[in-house]
């Protein structure tokens, strides 16, 4: 059982580095894994796989729509294709290709998407997709995963290689604290309990899990007991874990690097409204595009900082007690 004390930063690396490491490990085990990219092999940190298995790497050029179709074809013939590009070009640009050739066609394609959310940083809003979880979650049969650090991303890649069916795996660009213990089991669809608590439930995904850990430490110091849960798999949602925690605390905060519409917060609200109606605060972007800046500046400006999680928790706890 994890607790806040055990969640110490052991280093710093990007989740995309975790993808690269996980891809190589999965590729060692499964000789039918094929990596595709649309002119972003360097950004995907996948050189170890490409160097080890050059014949299992397909460079598609800047043609994302074609890449999705080629992946669907490879899956038809029994391969496990993993498409790679930025999250924006992995989803919004190719939604119809994913919908028809992959999801509706029941293809075992893994859509691996880096540079998701505000933390992409300086490139600005054209590249900072904040709608991708919503889009992918809407597709019937699609599994949606947003791991939180290097270790969890590495484990997630290996898990999706074992899973049959289309998957959207979302990760990011910046160097980010590593705090999930190496070797921690990754189960698709199973929430990871990070701390037991009784006053407020904080459900977090992606980069914001680290911020939620830091926020929980502050809240605990102030006497607010936090039930902290990492929802790495947004679909299928671990409804039992969400309901049990909300029932215990009666106060919920969701944290994600995504628009408040359609993402983790929405998924939790949908679950709780029919099973365990609970007051909820949404730490998410407020129906807006991003802009240029550093990752930390952007998270702060758009209300996704540690202080914002603390404030949201206090607000929802106060509402419960009033």
Partner 1 sequence: MSDIPKLERIASQVRRDIIRQVHGCQSGHPGGSLGNADLLTALYFDVMKHDPSFSMEGKGEDVFFLSNGHISPVFYSVLARSGYFPVEELATFRQINSRVQGHPTTHEGLPGIRISSGSLGQGVSVACGVAIAKRMDKDDRTVFVLTGDGEQQEGQIWEAALFAPHNKLENLVLIIDDNGQQIDGPTKEVLEVESFTEKYTAFGWDIMKMDGNNMAETVKVLKEAAAKRNGKPTCIVMKTEMGQGVDFMVGTHKWHGKAPSDEQTVTALDQLEETLGDYPDSAPSNN
Q: Quote the least distance from Cβ 56 to partner 1, whole Å.
A: 8
Asked if 40 is part of the footprint of partner 1 (rule: CB under 8 A), the reply reads no
Question: How far apart, in Å, are the Cα atoms of 239 and each of 3, 207, 274?
Answer: 21, 22, 11
Alpha carbon distance 101, 96 (integer Å): 8
Asked if 41 is part of the footprint of partner 1 (rule: CB under 8 A), the reply reads no
Region from 101-109, 168-176, 241-249, 258-266 binding partner 1, contact rule CB under 8 A: 101-109
Q: Which residues contact 193 (CB under 8 A, 6 or more apart)?
A: 1, 2, 227, 228, 229, 230, 241
Asked if 105 is part of the footprint of partner 1 (rule: CB under 8 A), the reply reads yes
Q: Which is nearer to partner 1, 97 or 249 (CB)?
A: 97
Among the listed residues 21, 23, 40, 70, the single contact to partner 1 using CB under 8 A? 70
Residue 90 C-alpha from the chain's centroid? 14
Q: Which is nearer to partner 1, 31 or 122 (CB)?
A: 31
Asked if 101 is part of the footprint of partner 1 (rule: CB under 8 A), the reply reads yes
Q: Quote the least distance from Cβ 98 to partner 1, whole Å.
A: 10
Q: Which is nearer to partner 1, 61 or 277 (CB)?
A: 61
Q: Which is nearer to partner 1, 83 or 266 (CB)?
A: 83
Taking alpha carbons only, the member of 185, 154, 194 closest to residue 5 is 194
Asked if 68 is part of the footprint of partner 1 (rule: CB under 8 A), the reply reads yes
Contact 165, 31 (CB under 8 A): no
Residue 213 C-alpha from the chain's centroid? 16
Kindly report the CA angle at 185 between 9 and 90, in degrees rounded to 5?
A: 80
Among the listed residues 2, 65, 243, 244, the single contact to partner 1 using CB under 8 A? 65
Asked if 135 is part of the footprint of partner 1 (rule: CB under 8 A), the reply reads no
Residue 44 CB neighbours (<10 A): 26
Taking alpha carbons only, the member of 87, 190, 96, 76 closest to residue 139 is 96
According to DSSP, the residues that pair with 156 across neighbouring strands are none
Q: Which residues contact 225 (CB under 8 A, 6 or more apart)?
A: 197, 198, 199, 200
Name the pairing type of β-strands 11-14 and 175-178. antiparallel
Q: Quote the least distance from Cβ 33 to partner 1, whole Å.
A: 12
Asked if 78 is part of the footprint of partner 1 (rule: CB under 8 A), the reply reads yes
Task: Please confirm, yes or no, whether 64 is among the known catalytic residues.
Answer: yes
Alpha carbon distance 263, 154 (integer Å): 22
Asked if 126 is part of the footprint of partner 1 (rule: CB under 8 A), the reply reads no
Among the listed residues 77, 183, 185, 223, the single contact to partner 1 using CB under 8 A? 77
Q: Which is nearer to partner 1, 24 or 79 (CB)?
A: 79
Region from 1-9, 100-108, 238-246, 291-299 binding partner 1, contact rule CB under 8 A: 100-108
Provide the terminal-to-terminal Cα distance of the chain, rounded to the nearest Å: 33
Q: Quote the least distance from Cβ 106 to partner 1, whole Å.
A: 5
Alpha carbon distance 311, 305 (integer Å): 10
Cite the active site residues: 64
Positions in the binding site for partner 1 (CB under 8 A):
34, 55-56, 58, 60-61, 63, 65-79, 81, 96-97, 99-101, 104-106
């Amino acid at each position: 059982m994890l607790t806040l004390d055990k969640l110490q930063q052991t280093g710093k690396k990007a989740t995309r580095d975790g993808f690269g490491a996980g891809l190589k490990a999965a590729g060692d085990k499964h000789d039918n894994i094929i990596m595709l990219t649309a002119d972003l092999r360097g950004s995907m940190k996948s050189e170890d796989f490409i160097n080890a298995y050059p014949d299992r790497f397909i460079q598609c050029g800047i043609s994302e729509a074609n890449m999705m179709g080629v992946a669907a074809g490879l899956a038809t013939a029994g391969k496990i294709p993993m498409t790679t590009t930025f999250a924006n070009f992995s989803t919004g640009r190719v939604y119809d290709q994913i919908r028809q050739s992959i999801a509706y066609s029941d293809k075992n394609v893994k859509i691996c998407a880096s540079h998701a959310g505000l933390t992409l940083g300086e490139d600005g809003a054209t590249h900072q997709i904040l709608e991708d979880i919503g889009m992918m979650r809407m597709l019937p049969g699609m599994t949606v995963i947003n791991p939180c650090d290097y270790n969890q991303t590495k484990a997630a890649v290996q898990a999706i290689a074992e899973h049959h069916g289309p998957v959207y795996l979302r990760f990011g660009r910046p160097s980010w604290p590593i705090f999930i213990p190496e070797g921690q089991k990754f189960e698709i669809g199973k929430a990871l309990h990070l701390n037991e608590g009784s006053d407020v439930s904080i459900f977090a995904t992606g980069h914001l899990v680290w911020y939620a850990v830091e926020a929980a430490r502050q809240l605990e110091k102030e006497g607010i007991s936090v039930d902290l849960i990492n929802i790495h798999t947004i679909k299928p949602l671990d409804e039992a874990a969400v309901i049990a925690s909300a029932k215990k605390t009666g106060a919920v905060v969701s944290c994600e690097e995504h628009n408040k519409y359609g993402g983790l917060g929405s998924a939790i609200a949908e679950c709780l409204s029919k099973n365990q109606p609970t007051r909820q605060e949404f730490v998410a972007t407020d129906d807006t595009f991003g802009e240029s800046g550093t990752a930390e500046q952007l998270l702060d400006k758009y209300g996704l900082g540690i202080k914002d999680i603390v404030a949201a928790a206090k607000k929802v706890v106060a509402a419960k007690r009033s």
